[in-house]
Structure 1
Amino acid sequence: MTPLPPRTLLWTSVAVAVVTILLKGTAWYLTGSVGLLSDALESFVNLAGAVFALMMVTVAQRPADGGHPFGHHKAEYFSSGFEGILVLGAALAILWASVHRLFAPAPISQLGWGLALSVASSALNGLLAWLMLRSARAYRSAALEGDARHLLTDVWTSAGVVVGILGVLATGWLWLDPVVAILVALNIAREGGRLVWRASQGLMDEALEPPERAAIDGALAAFARQQPGVRFDHVATRRAGQRRHVALHLHVPGDWSLSEAARLRAAVERALVDAVPGLRATIELLPTGMEAVATPMAEYGPGSGSGHGPAQGRNIPQNPQDREDPRT
C-alpha cells in the first residue's frame, strides 16, 4: 500500500483529534477520573499540534522564491517545536489537577463506560500513528513524524490511565488514580522536551543520518578509486525538512579541460542522487594542487587513510601559495 501524503494524514489527524476529545471528555464526565481528564486534555494538545503541523507542511511545500531561494522546507520544524511547547503546558495542567485530587480524593463511577471510551480512542490514535510514521519515513516529513510520535505517547498515556482505573477498581485505593495521572504528566513532559529538542536540531542544520551519509561516502569513494588524480574533500551534509543537501569540493588534475571536469561533476551528482534519492548536491570544482581556505571535513582518494574509504575529519596540509586569493 502506497503511503498517504502528509497533508492527507494531517487532515485525518485533525478529525481523529476531535473524535478522541469527545470520547475522552465523555469518559471523564461519566467517571470523574482525573486520569481520564489528563487524557482528554492531551487530546486538545493533539488537535492544536495537528492543525499547526498542517499549516507548516503547507508552507514547507511552497516552491522556492526570491526571498527563500532554497525553499521553505524548514517550516516543518516549527510545528515540532510548537507542539512540544503545548505538550509541556498540558503536562503542567495535568500535574496541578492530579496533585489537587491526590490530597482531595473522590470516588470514580461508571468505570465500564469510561474504560470502553478510552480504549476506543486509543485504538484510533494508534492506527493513525502507525500510518503517519509509515508516511513520514517515505516523505521524510519532520512535522508528520513529530505528530505521529506524539500520538503514540497518547496511546501509552491512555494505557497508563486504564491501568490506574483498574487498580482503583481492584483495590479501592482512590489515590492510585491521581498517582497514575502524575506519572502520565511526567511522561508527557518528557515527550514535549524531546519534540522541542528535535526541532532545535533541525533548525540548526543537523547532518544527515548515518545510513545516508554512508551512502554518500560510498559513492564518492568509488569515483576516487576509478579516476586517477581525482579526490573529494570539504564534504558537509545537512537536513532541511524533507530535503537533503550535500556540499563538497571535487579536485581534478590541472591539465583537464573544463568539459572533462564538467562531465565528471555531472556523473558524480547523478551518483549521489542515486545513492540518496532527492538529494541536492553542490559541487565546487578545483585543481588537484589547490586547497580551499576552510578546514576540510572529510577527504577521499590518494593519501586519505587506506585509500578504500573516507578519512573523517582529516586536516589536509595547505600551502598559502596554493590557495586562491579570495579577492580575485
Structure 2
Amino acid sequence: MSAEKNGFVQRLAFWGIPLSFGVMGLKLLAWYVTGSVALLSDGLESTVNVVAAFIAYFVIRYAQKPADADHPYGHHKAEYISAVLEGVLIVVAALLIVNEAVGHLSAPAMPEAPVLGLAINAVAAIINGLWATMLIRVGKSHRSPALSADGQHILSDVVTSIGVLIGLVLALLTGYAILDPVLAILVAINIIFQGWKVISHSVDGLMDKAVEPAEEEAIKHAIAANSAGSLGAHYLRTRRGGSVTFVAFDLVVPAKMTVREAHVICDRLEMAIHNALPGARVTIHVEPENEMPHGVGVTVQEQNP
C-alpha cells in the first residue's frame, strides 16, 4: 500500500474515535430521557465501540510500520489481531445486552418520552450506518482487515439500533412492555453471530489462509501468460498478510539456461503478478529441469508450449 493510501487509512481510523464518542453520547442521552432497557443496551454496545475505535487506530498505525530486522515481512498481520479483538468486543457487547435485558424480563416497564428517545437513537443509527458503510468499503479496497472489522462492528451496532427501535415501537403500539427486553435479547443473538464471523475471518488471516479462488486464478493466468522460455511452474503458495499478498512458486528452466536469462523471466513474471494483484510480494525459486519437485503446492503450468 502506498504512503498516501496508508495516510488515508490512518486518518479514517483516527476520526472513528471522536465519532464513536459522539454516537455513544447520543445513545446514552436517548436512554436517559426514556429509561428504556433496550436503549441502555444499545448505549452499552457503543461504549465497546469507543474502545474498538482506539484499538483499530493504534493497531493500523503499527501495522503500517516498514519492515525491520525483527519483522522482515512487515507488521501487516497486526491488523488481524485488531480484527480478532473487535470480534471479541462485539460478543462482549452482546452479552452485556443479554445480561441487562434478562434482568428486566420479570419487571418490564414502558419507556418515558418515547418519541424523543426514538428520534435521538435514530439519528445515532443513521450516523453509524453511513460511517460503517465507508469503513467497510475502504477496508476492502485498501485491504485493511482492522478497518473492515471496525466497520462490521459498527454495522452490528446499527442492527442493534434498528432492532431496538422496532421493539420500542411495538411495545408502544401494543402496550406489551416485555417486548422491550425481548427484542434486546433477539438483537444480541444476531450480534453474537456477526462477532463470530469477524473472529473467524481474522483467524483465517493469522493462519496464513490462501487467497480467494478468483485471485489465485489471476495469479496462475499471469504466470502462464508470461513464462515463455521456462519449462513450467509448480508449487504455488499464497497467503494474505493484512494489506499485502505473498506469492511464491517454483519455476523450472532448461538446465543450460544462464542465471541472467532466468532472471529476465523472473522479472517479467513478477511484473505480471504485480499488475494482477497490486502490492503483491513475489518469491520465485528457480530450479533446473529433471530436478525432483519439492512441496505439494498448486501446479500452475506443467509444460510451457
Q: TM-score range by the shorter chain?
A: over 0.9
Query: How far off is 1:229 after superposition?
Result: 5.0
Change (3 A) 1:138 1:257: same
- Which residue of 1 is the match for residue 62 of structure 2? 59
Letter in structure 1 aligned against 2:116: W
Q: How does 1:19-58 map onto structure 2 within 5 Å?
A: 19-58=22-61
Task: Give the counterpart of 1:170 among 150, 167, 173.
Answer: 173
How many residues are treated as equivalent by the alignment?
301
Give the gaps of 5 or more residues in structure 1: 308-328
- Which residue of 1 is the match for residue 284 of structure 2? 283
Give the gaps of 5 or more residues in structure 2: none
Is the Cα–Cα contact under 8 Å of residues 110 and 172 in structure 2 kept in the other structure? no
Larger Rg: 1
* Mapped partners of 1:198, 1:7: distance in 2: 22
* Mapped partners of 2:297, 2:181: distance in 1: 56
* Mapped partners of 2:10, 2:201: distance in 1: 21
Change (3 A) 1:229 1:96: closer
- 1:217 pairs with 2:220: yes
Is the Cα–Cα contact under 8 Å of residues 221 and 301 in structure 1 kept in the other structure? no
- Which residue of 2 is the match for residue 158 of structure 1? 161
Q: C-alpha offsets along residues 216-248 of structure 1, whole Å, 9 cap, x if unaligned?
A: 011112135xx2652000000000011111010
Q: C-alpha offsets along residues 1-44 of structure 1, whole Å, 9 cap, x if unaligned?
A: x9882211111211111011110001011111111111111111
- Which residue of 2 is the match for residue 297 of structure 1? 298
Q: How does 1:83-232 map onto structure 2 within 5 Å?
A: 83-224=86-227, 227=228, 229-232=230-233
* Mapped partners of 1:252, 1:213: distance in 2: 22
Is the Cα–Cα contact under 8 Å of residues 42 and 154 in structure 1 kept in the other structure? yes
- 1:274 pairs with 2:275: yes
**Normalised by the size of structure 2, how large is the TM-score?**
0.94
**Sequence identity of aligned pairs in percent?**
39
DSSP 3-state at the match of 1:173: coil
Coordinate RMSD, CA, aligned: 1.7
Q: C-alpha offsets along residues 293-315 of structure 1, whole Å, 9 cap, x if unaligned?
A: 32343231329xxx8xxxxxxxx
DSSP 3-state at the match of 1:246: strand
DSSP 3-state at the match of 1:102: coil
**Normalised by the size of structure 1, how large is the TM-score?**
0.88
Query: How far off is 1:194 after superposition?
Result: 1.7
Is the Cα–Cα contact under 8 Å of residues 128 and 154 in structure 2 kept in the other structure? yes
The 4+ residue runs of structure 1 with deviation greater than 6 A are none
Change (3 A) 1:202 1:12: same
* Mapped partners of 1:93, 1:154: distance in 2: 13
- Which residue of 2 is the match for residue 317 of structure 1? none
Change (3 A) 1:169 1:208: same
Change (3 A) 1:212 1:54: same
Q: How does 1:241-260 map onto structure 2 within 5 Å?
A: 241-260=242-261
